[in-house]
Amino acid sequence: MEVAKIREYTGHSGGVYKITNGFQADHIVSFSGDGRVVEWNLNEKDSGILKAKSEYKFFTGLTSYQENSCFAGDMNGSLYQLFFDKKSENVKAWKTHEKGLFSIVAFENLLFTGGGDGSLTKWSIQPFLPKETKPISNQRIRSLVIDEKRKVLIAGSSDGCIYLIDPVSMQIIERREKAHDSTVFSIIMRDKNTLITGGRDAHICIWDYPKLVLAHRIPAHLFTVNDLAISPCKKYFASASRDKEIRIWDAQSFKLVKVIDRIKYGGHINSVNTLLWDNKTGFLCSGSDDRSVLVWEVKPNQ
């Protein structure tokens, strides 16, 4: 596998905690601790456009194509709707969580957010209002993903558990205890029967889903696994870690394929917090505590 850094964006003044798809093809959006939301054109070297700005530190985000807006969660536990074509005073915000808002997913015209207080909130998008909040865990909800086919919300918590939740009733369907020794920071689906999780224990776990039976446990990094991303072809997945590295894995054999570090590839100099493997371009994008967004071209061996 060949890897090359093709872009290095340095417009933020705080750590980059979330990268999402942009509002146009070949664009991405970054959410930062500096309270800025910036859109980047992957075809240009210096392409950062400030889309929204707030006095609050954003920890997660989600772009909304229909509304020309985005949703952002901050360390205060509030969810914001930021409009890109309006003045800043038109920003809408609701606080429903304590101790931070760490994850956002969308499903069937609804939003779901996970908070530092262990609660899950369901939101309507139009109008932008919280509909229901329920306690899920006694610790933080750090990761959320939707299984759209089965209509199941999957949550990872700082109690080390994975929760399967009915998005309609907000009731817990299944709980897998001790999935990780500590926080479950990231969850992705390889396919409808395979779940991959990354944790504070520096391990990656492979699960037979939906029964949540452990199939493999990989000592993946030296420190926390902060995020995971599946490749567009589904043959590989990437992991981001506090150890400053990005690692690429074979999604079938779960063997390590490539290590992207500072010395050999010009990688990040601080914790890698977020990943996006863009479906349109095939580029792997990463955000870090070093305040940069890096873009990687990944070419598997033929």
Residue 246 Cα distances to 222, 240, 269, 286, 288, angstroms: 12, 5, 12, 8, 11
pLDDT score of 87:
54
For 250: left if phi > 0, alpha if psi spans -120 to 50, otherwise beta; the answer is beta
DSSP-derived 3-state class of residue 13: coil
Beta bridge pairs of residue 106: 111
The pLDDT tens digits of the residues spanning 161-191 come to 999 999 999 999 999 999 999 999 999 999 9
Residue 96 has, within 13 A of its CA and on its CB side, a CA count of 24
Using CA atoms, how far apart are residues 1 and 300, in angstroms rounded to an integer?
4
Q: Contact 63/45 with Cβ under 8 angstroms?
A: no
Query: What is the mean predicted confidence (pLDDT) over 239-254?
Result: 98
Q: Where are the domains of the chain?
A: 2-299
| Res. 90: pLDDT tops 70 | no
Separation of alpha carbons 9 and 271, rounded Å: 16
Please say if the pLDDT value at position 244 is more than 90.
yes
Hey, how many other C-beta atoms are within 10 angstroms of the C-beta on 183? Answer: 23
Mean pLDDT within 209-222: 98
pLDDT in tens, 12-37: 999 999 999 988 889 999 999 999 99
Residue 55: what pLDDT?
83
Q: What is the CATH number of domain 2-299?
A: 2.130.10.10
| pLDDT in the model for residue 52 | 82
- The tens digit of pLDDT for each residue in 106-156 reads 999 899 999 999 999 999 988 889 999 999 999 999 999 999 999 999 999
Q: What torsion, rounded to 10 degrees, do the Cα atoms 9, 12, 13, 15 define? A: -90
Cβ contact 150:167 at 8 Å: no
Give the per-residue pLDDT at 86. 59
